[in-house]
Chain A
Amino acid sequence: MHDTLSSNVGEEPSAPARGGQELTIAGRTLRSRLLLGTGGFPSLEVMAEAIAASGSELVTVALRRVDPRARGSLIDVLADAGVGLLPNTAGCHTARDAVLTARMAREAFATDWVKLEVIGDEDTLLPDAPELLLAAEELIDDGFVVLPYTTDDPVLAKRLADLGCAAVMPLGSPIGSGMGIRNPYNIALIREAVDVPVVLDAGIGTASDATLAMELGCDAVMAASAIARAQDPVAMARAMRAAVEAGRLARGAGRIPRRTYATPSTPDIGLADFDQGGVELS
């Protein structure tokens, strides 16, 4: 009776929130724990508004062939927004392509930070673990600050952190699926397995998913499609900002354990006894 169920994921009552309010990755301090993807917005104007509403200070960009007919400069809009750029290697399927793309990004954007993606399957866009490890090692040797998009496998996350990655970015569920965090146990295990920041990446569908990620102990959340493809991206950006803050606060506060049976929230002491003295209540 009154057993605590075994689902204590992310519920260690004494678990302190790691670090202060600010997030530090590779010596760089970010006041916001929400990272934004720039893909999928209906326009650059909406993207800029959503970035402002989210409070994010770091946003991802991809690298693609110059289109002379393209209108508006993404770089200029992001510079005006005052955010840092985190180039990704989206679309790369081999370590070789990802490494070259990262080097191109370093040249184009004058940053040695890279969100390393090496995709192994077109339908699920799941990471290719062996290629990811190869690319991470080569880029770290080349002086990059590597933030790898990885599966929710604690062992792989540990291997990436041991290589020298500045953070790990495990997926909650496939990119753009909006399925939330399918294996919260593994996300909590990753938090325990590595000493670098854990940034929940991919799968976030709505605000509660971001809150859960933070409650599980993640240091930050990356949201892309969940905001950009929402019916009202600016409102969703605002919601995500609040959700990340709420989850972080709840994690630090230490939630109560789950129990099968009720525990009264009002004490019995001093409870009136209306059956004594022959009083009948109807």
Chain B
Amino acid sequence: MILLNGERSDVHAGETVVAVIARLGLDADTRGVAVAVDGEVVPRASWDSFEVGEHARVEVLTAMQGG
């Protein structure tokens, strides 16, 4: 089971970050997005090569209004 933004997902081990964020309607060109897998930032340049592992926790963050 791979968690995507805290929710159970249908992502399988071995999928790339680009494939994972597509489930959120995002692609490699979307501005203002950052991805962490298991608490480590995955640089944008690695999104199409980085593969998520079993039991990965994927966080996909973007800008939100805040002080």
Interfacial residues, chain A to chain B (CB-CB below 8 A) = 37-41, 47, 60-66, 68, 73-76, 78, 85, 87-88, 90, 100, 103-105, 107-109, 175-176, 202, 222, 224-225, 228
| Contacting residue for A107 out of B21, B44, B64, CB 8 A | B44
| Contacting residue for B31 out of A39, A40, A60, A75, CB 8 A | A75
A64 touches B41 (CB 8 A): no
Total CB contacts across the A-B interface at under 8 A: 96
A68 touches B25 (CB 8 A): yes
Interfacial residues, chain B to chain A (CB-CB below 8 A) = 5-6, 21, 24-26, 31-36, 39, 41, 43-44, 59-67
Q: Closest 4 A-B residue pairs measured CB to CB?
A: A62-B66, A37-B67, A224-B67, A108-B34
B63 touches A47 (CB 8 A): no
A60 touches B66 (CB 8 A): yes
A105 touches B34 (CB 8 A): yes
Question: Which residues from chain B contact A107 at a C-beta distance below 8 Å?
Answer: 34-35, 41, 43-44
Most chain B CB within 10 A, of A60, A68, A222, A228, is at A68
A40 touches B67 (CB 8 A): yes
B5 touches A66 (CB 8 A): yes
| Contacting residue for A39 out of B33, B36, B66, CB 8 A | B66
- Nearest CB of A to B9, in Å: 13
Q: A176 to B67: give the CA distance in the assembly, Å.
A: 9
Given contacts A64-B61, A68-B25, A100-B41, contact A109 B32 (CB under 8 A): yes
Q: A87 to B63: give the CA distance in the assembly, Å.
A: 8
Question: Which residues from chain A contact B31 at a C-beta distance below 8 Å?
Answer: 73, 75-76
